[in-house]
Amino acid sequence: MSEARRLAASPRYVLSDFDFDLPRELIAQAPAGQRTESRLLHVDGERLADLAFTDLPGLVRPGDLIVCNDTRVINARVHARKPTGGRVELLVERIVGPHEAWAQLSPSHPPQSGATLMLPGGAHAEVLSREGRFYSLRFYATGSLPDWLLEHGELPLPPYIDRTPGAADTTRYQTVYARVPGAVAAPTAGLHFDAAMLATLNAQGVMHAFVTLHIGAGTFLPVATEDLRKHQMHQERYDIPEETVSAIAATRARGGHVIAVGTTTLRALESAVTAAGDVHGGEGETTLFVTPGFRFCVVDRLLTNFHLPKSTLLMLAAAFGGYHEVRTAYAHAIAEKYRFYSYGDAMLLERPCSAPVK
């Protein structure tokens, strides 16, 4: 099913429709003491319920399916130098081979093709080309690039966390089910789950399935145009196992709900919709930009965190839960001092008329 058909009835929202004032003290700088100690705002149309994340099992039913993104964050931030001594911060966006990657660079003077960057551990990188904000680099290091990053790279905390990564971040900025390395940002809605919570849900008959979507650095890039039709989403890779396709079909057959944990999970699933409205398994690339008016075919309920003003993630949440309903929920969350962004609290969004699609 084409994206154009699913956006045919999209209202004409503009960028400023998704702006709001957020007190800086509500931006979470560290995770809660325990993963499940976060708060949960349940948004069901105009009905709001202030809950704890540990209340989640009471909000789902046996036969429902929770789908999570099992990507794993890599040590994507590297401190490099030019041969002249100038400092360069390098953020790997996507690994495309054993020794090649696309990356963002932050030098005072952008390097040209053929330039060399000196890296930790006696390694170096050559600039192959540039496309917009991203550079194609070839790494000359011992072993594969993923192994080298694991030893010499740094965990890339989001830009709104005003501190360097600590020892706790190496585990807390990963989900407990993170399995496939490749992301430069965590699928943060999943950070609230611990093993005990997953076991509780499983014991009450809630099924689990996984997709893999490697989140790129482009997730933090601002929308630069007031006219949302002119915005181009960054490209991200995803993989939907056949087991997940089968689990979704079985959930539909028994009348259960498909619950996406995070916007990345939702984007992967909704990007893989066929003309018949089913999910196509396998690997793919997505640039899906979800704004109000989008017609969802797979996901019935969305678990997500609270997002940046004017962000594509906020637009997706508003598309799913209703523009006015989500704006009201955000105003409530600010008044009630919920914690925002990656290490913040969660919200469970109901899709209007979210009876399972047959």
| Structure confidence by residue, pLDDT tens digits, 135-157 | 999 999 988 898 999 999 999 99
Residues 306/340, Cβ–Cβ less than 8 Å: yes
Residue whose pair of structure tokens reads 């509780």 in the numeric block: 200
Count the alpha carbons within 13 Å of 26 in the hemisphere toward its beta carbon. 20
Torsion of CA 296, 186, 237, 326, to 10 degrees: 20
DSSP 46-68: TEEEEEEGGGGGGGS-TT-EEEE
Report residue 355's pLDDT band, with 50, 70 and 90 as the boundaries: very low
Mean pLDDT score across all residues of the chain: 92
Does the pLDDT value for residue 5 go beyond 80?
no
* 192-196 own/partner pairs: CB under 8 Å, 24+ apart: 192/35, 192/36, 192/38, 192/53, 192/346, 193/35, 193/36, 193/68, 193/261, 194/34, 194/35, 194/36, 196/36
Report residue 3's pLDDT band, with 50, 70 and 90 as the boundaries: low
Report residue 132's pLDDT band, with 50, 70 and 90 as the boundaries: confident
Q: Strand pairing of 77-81 and 87-95?
A: antiparallel
Domain residue ranges in the chain: 3-73+169-350, 77-152
CB within 8 A of 47, min separation 6: which ones? Answer: none
Quick one: pLDDT at residue 44? 97
Quick one: pLDDT at residue 221? 79
CB within 8 A of 333, min separation 6: which ones? Answer: 41, 306, 340, 345, 347
Report residue 11's pLDDT band, with 50, 70 and 90 as the boundaries: low
What is the end-to-end Cα distance of the chain in Å, rounded?
16
Taking the domain 77-152, which CATH number applies?
2.40.10.240
Fold of 3-73+169-350: QueA-like (3.40.1780)
Mean pLDDT for the stretch of residues 174-181: 97
| Structure confidence by residue, pLDDT tens digits, 103-130 | 999 876 788 899 999 999 999 999 999 9
Report residue 275's pLDDT band, with 50, 70 and 90 as the boundaries: confident
Task: Provide the 8-state DSSP code for 303.
Answer: E
Amino acid at 103: A
Quick one: pLDDT at residue 220? 77
Q: How far apart, in whole angstroms, are the C-alpha atoms of residue 94 and residue 104?
A: 10
**Residues paired with residue 201 on neighbouring β-strands, in sequence order:** none
Residue whose pair of structure tokens reads 């690039």 in the numeric block: 145
Burial class, 283, CB count within 10 angstroms (exposed 0-12 / middle 13-18 / buried 19+): exposed
**pTM: predicted TM-score of the whole model, two decimal places:** 0.92
Q: How far apart, in whole angstroms, are the C-alpha atoms of residue 121 and residue 81?
A: 12
